[in-house]
Structures are given as C-alpha cells and as structure tokens.
Amino acid sequence: MKLMLIEGKGKEMANILKIRAHHLLCIQGFQGYGYSEDFVKNMSEIIKSMDSNPEVKIITECDIICSCCPHNVEGVCQKGPDSAQEVRNMDTRILEKLHIKDGMIGRVKDVLSLINTELRNVSDIQDICGGCAWKERCLWFISRDK
C-alpha cells in the first residue's frame, strides 16, 4: 500500500493533531470507556475533531489524549512503575510494523488505512494490545481477524 507520509520537520503545524502511535488504534475502538469522566469527554472530542483536522503527527510520548488522563503526571505516563517505557515501546513497535518514523505526518484517513491493512489480524497486535485492560471493550481489537 502506498502512503503519502512526509517528514514533520518544517511543515506547517496548524490543525495537525499530535497523537501517540498506539492511540491511533484506541480511537478506532473507543466506545466511551476510559480512566475518568474527563478522559472520556476529552477523547470523544478529539475523535470528533479529526473530521476537521485532516492530518496527524505520529509521536511516541504523552499526547492530547494523555492530557486528560489521571495517570499522566507532568507529561509522563505513570499508570504503573514502568509504564512510561512500556507505553513508549508499544508506540515504537507500531511504527516498526507500519515502517514509518516517529514524528511523521500523514492524512488521518491514510494513516488509519495503513494501520488497518498492516495490523489486520489479532496475531499482528498481540505484542501491542495483548496486555491491554480495555481490549475486550475495544471495537477495533474485537474486529481483528482471528
């Protein structure tokens, strides 16, 4: 699949959402569950805003979804003692599977299409989503081919 992704450096950043890689999976399976009321409200608004933000910058650090998470302490995920590194590893594994670099920018629809082509089966994402507490409630995870 050909994807029009470009390096982020130097590109006009207005209207470009910065999203950490694994959240691009989460947003596709979100059905209103989350860590707090604020988290759910924020995530719902971000997903809606993607209609008017056609491009996304893919990152591997706390993002606008983390910004309303009770586990985000000063920009670092502290869900568990090793979460900052574990979540970053999860993001990095996704980038490797998609053959893209940290900080790349792409059209939301192209990025989601790439994800859904490359990560089609449960076996493709076992090392990413396998330990996720939300996977049974994630419509995207549930929809992967067995």
Shortest Å, Cβ 113 to ligand SF4: 24
Cβ 31 vs Cβ 146: under 8 Å: no
Site string for ligand SF4, 28-67 (x = CB under 6 A): ----------------------------------x--xx-
Q: Is 79 in the site for ligand SF4 (CB under 6 A)?
A: yes
Q: Which residue has the tokens 């997903």?
A: 47
Which one, 65 or 95, has the nearer CB to ligand SF4? 65
Of 117, 142, 118, which Cα lies nearest the Cα of 129?
142
| Residue 72 found at the interface with ligand SF4 (CB under 6 A) | yes
User: Could you give phi then psi for residue 124, rounded to 5 degrees?
Assistant: -70, -25
Q: Can residue 69 be called a binding residue for ligand SF4 (CB under 6 A)?
A: yes
Binding to ligand SF4 by residue 137, rule CB under 6 A? no
Quote the DSSP letter at residue 34.
-
How far is 107 from 89, CA to CA, in rounded Å? 24
Residues 6+ apart with CB under 8 A from 45: none
Q: How many residues bind ligand SF4 (CB under 6 A)?
A: 10
Site for ligand SF4 contains 138 (CB under 6 A) = no
Structure tokens at 45: 């608004």
Using CB under 6 A as the binding rule, whether residue 93 contacts ligand SF4 is answered as no
Interacting residues toward ligand SF4 by CB under 6 A? 62, 65-66, 69, 71-72, 77, 79, 83, 87
